[in-house]
Amino acid sequence: MPARYTRDHPDYVLASGFMHWLPGYEPYKQMRQFFAGGYKIHLSATLSDTQRVADAVLPLLRDMQIYHKVRPDRASYEAMNAGRQQGKFITVYVGPLQEKFLSVAKELDALLTAHQFTPGPTPSARLGGHAQEEQRAGLSRMIFYTTSPDFEL
């Protein structure tokens, strides 16, 4: 089995092809009782940078207590990039508040820019049966976002 980006961190569980961060799930579930959707961030990385991006970003997301998921390993991210789900290496469920989205995006962008990672492919949102490129945010060129009326895990 290939090494996982979560380095077998005990707080992640594999489900639906992603490693989900469990401590963030309960607050996410509570938020969903009031708001079905909101801002969703996708971090895109090149295959050669994925381990370094995971090593830098995942601890920050855990410290920020934000629910997120990550592709489990390089092979699964590579396979995802070959299809309609390209560029969705790490997914961050920020929630409905623009202020929270801006705060999270700013912290992620500062970290990604400081490390000078190489951006990966542009993710596409699937809307109404067709794909539409997501909006890019920040200077790192690795952060993309969409707003969704209903989050789907």
Q: Tell me the DSSP string of 45-95.
A: B-GGGHHHHHHHHHHHHHHTT--EEE-SSHHHHHHHHTTTTTT-SEEEEEE
| Mean pLDDT on 115-136 | 78
Closest CA to 54 of 69, 75, 66, 40: 69
Asked whether residue 129 carries a pLDDT value surpassing 70, the answer given is no
Mean pLDDT, residues 133-151 taken together: 88
Beta bridge partners of 95: 39
pLDDT digits (tens, 9 = 90+) for 69-109: 999 999 999 999 998 889 999 999 999 999 999 999 999 99
